[in-house]
Structure 1
Amino acid sequence: MKLKYTFLLAFTLPLLIWIMADTKKKVEKKYTENHELKTVNPSLDWKGTPLDENGRFVNLFHPFESSFGDLLKWQTSKNPYKEAKENETRQLAVNFDPSIIQGKEDYLIWLGHATYLFRVQGKTFLTDPILMDNTFLKRDSPLPFPIEEMPHLDYILLSHNHRDHCDKASLKFLAEHHPQAKILTALGVSKVITSWTNPQEIEEAGWFQQYTKPDADIKITFVPSRHWSRRWLWDDNKSLWGGFYIQTEEKSIYFMGDSGKGPHFEDIKNTLGSPDYCLMGVGAFRPEWFMHQAHISPTYAIEAFNTLGGRFFIPMHYGTFDLSDEPRMEPWDILIENRDAIQGYLIEPVIGQNLLFPNLD
């Protein structure tokens, strides 16, 4: 059996053990939350973040239904995009002006994959930092500046514990150089990262819960996605996954994290409103029959964006790491081909470039 790309080592081997367990069994749901946080109830019958009968997190609408046979089929089948992958020479564009992070104005800068650096209301945020190569992941796109030049950070947002979103080396570096930064993440993630980040403050939230902050002008809500979690062979779904919705009086930013298809996009809109900026995952989607439960395709990302009613569509989760069957830049090509279907503005996420617009009127 041939090994396909980094995805196999980083994610699929643990997934194999999980799938060999009976993941299709009937789930009797329980519910949990962080009782110290405010919950923005999406409905009158909202009970909290669901758990299965073993106390492990589950998706709101879709159980994970892949089988070992599905995994074997993917790993042993021919990749119809192999030649296109091998012939892909394009890389993500990089254009960085250091004055952006040295000034005092708001900005939103893509650092590659799911890592965004942004400032709103004078506070600086970093999402899902993976700032260097590790055992499993090698960058195909450069950072726009050395990590030693990272500006002062107030918050680090971690969407879930997968290794392309929650990187030990990056978090240890940030803990050493930005110990003041508060980490906002999902229920259960602190057990993974505490030994790397001590003494940083960590706050965990369930779905539709708002983090506590000294900044009354910023609301940060942890929102659902359709995904799963695992770092080792024994910790499947012991920690939660999701995205972030950041709101100020002037603007709102939705960071999707990783997600498959689902009605949760509509729930987010109905609960928190339509976001101005939607940072949407569009990569690691082929083969779709296997990946759709964890990563939406570019075309479905458009549908999800339209459901959210967003203003600016900013794609991510492509071009930096080789995680699946599609060529590096195919997700962007598909978005361009279908841009007329986008009920908003498609923004090319050039690495290092400020993607915020000063006037949203």
Structure 2
Amino acid sequence: MAQSGLDSHRLPNIAESVLPPHHRSTSTWWHGRFDNPWPTWEERSFSDVLRWNRERRKAGVPTDGYLEGNMAPSPADFAAAFPTHPVDWAALNNPPANAVQVTWVGHSTFLLQLEGLTLLTDPVFSQRCSPVQWMGPKRVVPPAFDISHPDLPKVDAVLLSHNHYDHLDKASVLQLNARFGERLRWYVPLGMQGWFANRGVSNVVELDWWQQVAHPSSSVQVALTPAQHWSMRSPLSRKASLWGGYAVLGANTRAWFAGDSGYAPCFQEIGQRLGPFDLAIIPTGAYEPRWFMKPQHINVEEAVQVHRDVRSMRSVACHHATFSLTDEAMDEPAKLLPREVAKAKLPPDAFVSLRHGATLVTAGGATLNQPPLLPVSLPVRP
């Protein structure tokens, strides 16, 4: 049964109610229905995109990804930089009752398990994050498993942060719907229900920022949290749908998935209203050049601050080491993270980068296992 965060698929009448600050009373092809209400947001124009492309060509930045000290890495070089870990299927099929368990599939896709539920964040299993599979950003590391894997536990819900192609993948949606059907519930931001309905997916719950719903037959509540970002699926759909992160609130455990965001005042509010969290999934990649990316993507230093703002006891990195999307070396975020964690005087395991396929288990601020981490032995550039 389809549900919506609003009673209809339109914005409330401005004469009937006062719109939240992230809603717009009127929309255009450029501004859309939603916006970022904080002074930390800055728009980027098409001329800014052209400037970025000119600068990266002049600097010789490869669009298909590079490693520190290696501007033309081979598949073997990427495999050495990002060694994968075999999925622990026994752990995935027997998650602990009183802890949060998370397994990194790749990029922003995680299998998140707590209090009897198994959830997927931003499921992208395709080779490329693109409207087509013959061009666009290509994986340098394969997904930790396929949707068709026979040992994959029943997925109860998907947490979809926004509609960019590295977060919403049509092929993965169709495969998940084919395997799990109506048993699988999709939590999405406002304005996205129609996209799913057009592809035969009906068990969709639209949420506005701070809206909280109970997941059926469980003790878990799901809430959409604010993020400073934007949405666009086609040139005429900019900000037509909302974006955000998710708090998953159990009776005894809590987890948070940030989605994509620039640094904004919303993180402290999330921590105050919904924290502390046993586990947070926070992006650490796709941040250069800063003049262009700062409003929409946090860097590693800011990610550590987000960890503190939302009052997370343990965090894992996402949105890195999988697709080449921006100008930093693909192995830079994982190398910088331990340095920034130490600079913030946090325990070394407070915020880590997992290997693809690795599983972390945490409860009450303690890491209950020793998950394989990405290597950090090579020097970081000044």
Q: In structure 1, how many angstroms separate the alpha carbons of the residues matched to 2:21 and 2:84? A: 39
SS in 1 for 2:22: strand
Question: In structure 2, do the counterparts of structure 1 residues 207 and 358 end up closer, same or farther at CA, with 3 Å as the change threshold?
Answer: closer
Which residue number corresponds to residue 79 of structure 1?
A: 59
After superposition, what is the alpha-carbon deviation per residue over 1:102-155, rounded to whole angstroms, capped at 9, x for unaligned?
Answer: 324362101010001122111110010001224233211122223212321110
TM-score (norm 1): 0.82
Which residue number corresponds to residue 37 of structure 2?
A: 60
Q: In structure 2, how many angstroms separate the alpha carbons of the residues matched to 1:243 and 1:68? A: 26
Question: In structure 2, do the counterparts of structure 1 residues 49 and 349 end up closer, same or farther at CA, with 3 Å as the change threshold?
Answer: farther
SS in 2 for 1:325: coil
Question: In structure 2, do the counterparts of structure 1 residues 166 and 284 end up closer, same or farther at CA, with 3 Å as the change threshold?
Answer: same
Say if 2:92 and 2:153, in contact at 8 Å, map to a contact too. yes
User: Within the alignment, does 1:186 sit opposite 2:189 as a pair?
Assistant: yes
Say if 1:285 and 1:296, in contact at 8 Å, map to a contact too. yes
Say if 1:79 and 1:325, in contact at 8 Å, map to a contact too. no
SS in 1 for 2:222: strand
Q: In structure 1, how many angstroms separate the alpha carbons of the residues matched to 2:286 and 2:362? A: 28
User: Within the alignment, does 1:113 sit opposite 2:130 as a pair?
Assistant: no
After superposition, what is the alpha-carbon deviation per residue over 1:226-270, rounded to whole angstroms, capped at 9, x for unaligned?
Answer: 000001111111100000011113221110000001101011111
Give the one of 88, 91, 109 matched to 1:100: 91
Cα distance, 1:216 vs structure 2? 4.6
Deviates more, 1:138-147 or 1:164-173: 138-147
The one-letter amino acid of 1:276's match is: D
Which residue number corresponds to residue 263 of structure 2?
A: 261
Say if 1:155 and 1:183, in contact at 8 Å, map to a contact too. yes
1:5-44 mapped onto 2 (5 Å cutoff): 34=6
Which residue number corresponds to residue 321 of structure 1?
A: 323
Question: In structure 2, do the counterparts of structure 1 residues 140 and 182 end up closer, same or farther at CA, with 3 Å as the change threshold?
Answer: same
Say if 2:253 and 2:363, in contact at 8 Å, map to a contact too. no
1:233-252 mapped onto 2 (5 Å cutoff): 233-252=235-254
Which residue number corresponds to residue 144 of structure 1?
A: 144
After superposition, what is the alpha-carbon deviation per residue over 1:165-194, rounded to whole angstroms, capped at 9, x for unaligned?
Answer: 000000001110111100011000112222
Question: In structure 2, do the counterparts of structure 1 residues 298 and 75 end up closer, same or farther at CA, with 3 Å as the change threshold?
Answer: same
Say if 2:314 and 2:365, in contact at 8 Å, map to a contact too. no
Say if 1:302 and 1:341, in contact at 8 Å, map to a contact too. no
Cα distance, 1:199 vs structure 2? 4.3
Cα distance, 1:326 vs structure 2? 1.0
Question: In structure 2, do the counterparts of structure 1 residues 200 and 94 end up closer, same or farther at CA, with 3 Å as the change threshold?
Answer: farther
The one-letter amino acid of 2:35's match is: V
The one-letter amino acid of 1:79's match is: A
Question: In structure 2, do the counterparts of structure 1 residues 152 and 49 end up closer, same or farther at CA, with 3 Å as the change threshold?
Answer: farther
SS in 1 for 2:296: coil
- The CA RMSD over aligned residues, in Å, is 2.3
Say if 2:300 and 2:333, in contact at 8 Å, map to a contact too. yes
1:103-252 mapped onto 2 (5 Å cutoff): 103-105=94-96, 107-134=101-128, 135=133, 136-149=136-149, 150-179=152-181, 180-196=183-199, 198-252=200-254
Cα distance, 1:211 vs structure 2? 2.3
SS in 1 for 2:361: coil
After superposition, what is the alpha-carbon deviation per residue over 1:188-208, rounded to whole angstroms, capped at 9, x for unaligned?
Answer: 011222222x24400000000
Question: In structure 2, do the counterparts of structure 1 residues 33 and 48 end up closer, same or farther at CA, with 3 Å as the change threshold?
Answer: farther
Q: In structure 2, how many angstroms separate the alpha carbons of the residues matched to 1:99 and 1:49? A: 46
Q: In structure 1, how many angstroms separate the alpha carbons of the residues matched to 2:24 and 2:94? A: 48
The one-letter amino acid of 1:219's match is: Q
Percent identity between matched residues is: 28
Say if 1:159 and 1:244, in contact at 8 Å, map to a contact too. yes
Which residue number corresponds to residue 50 of structure 1?
A: 22
Structure number having the greater helix percentage: 1
Say if 2:255 and 2:280, in contact at 8 Å, map to a contact too. yes
Cα distance, 1:156 vs structure 2? 0.9
Deviates more, 1:346-355 or 1:325-334: 346-355
Question: In structure 2, do the counterparts of structure 1 residues 54 and 151 end up closer, same or farther at CA, with 3 Å as the change threshold?
Answer: same
Cα distance, 1:215 vs structure 2? 3.6
User: Within the alignment, does 1:356 sit opposite 2:361 as a pair?
Assistant: yes
Say if 1:61 and 1:262, in contact at 8 Å, map to a contact too. yes
SS in 2 for 1:178: helix
Q: In structure 1, how many angstroms separate the alpha carbons of the residues matched to 2:166 and 2:327? A: 16
Which residue number corresponds to residue 373 of structure 2?
A: none
Say if 2:5 and 2:206, in contact at 8 Å, map to a contact too. no
TM-score (norm 2): 0.78
Q: In structure 1, how many angstroms separate the alpha carbons of the residues matched to 2:262 and 2:355? A: 24
Q: In structure 1, how many angstroms separate the alpha carbons of the residues matched to 2:256 and 2:53? A: 34
Q: In structure 2, how many angstroms separate the alpha carbons of the residues matched to 1:91 and 1:168? A: 29
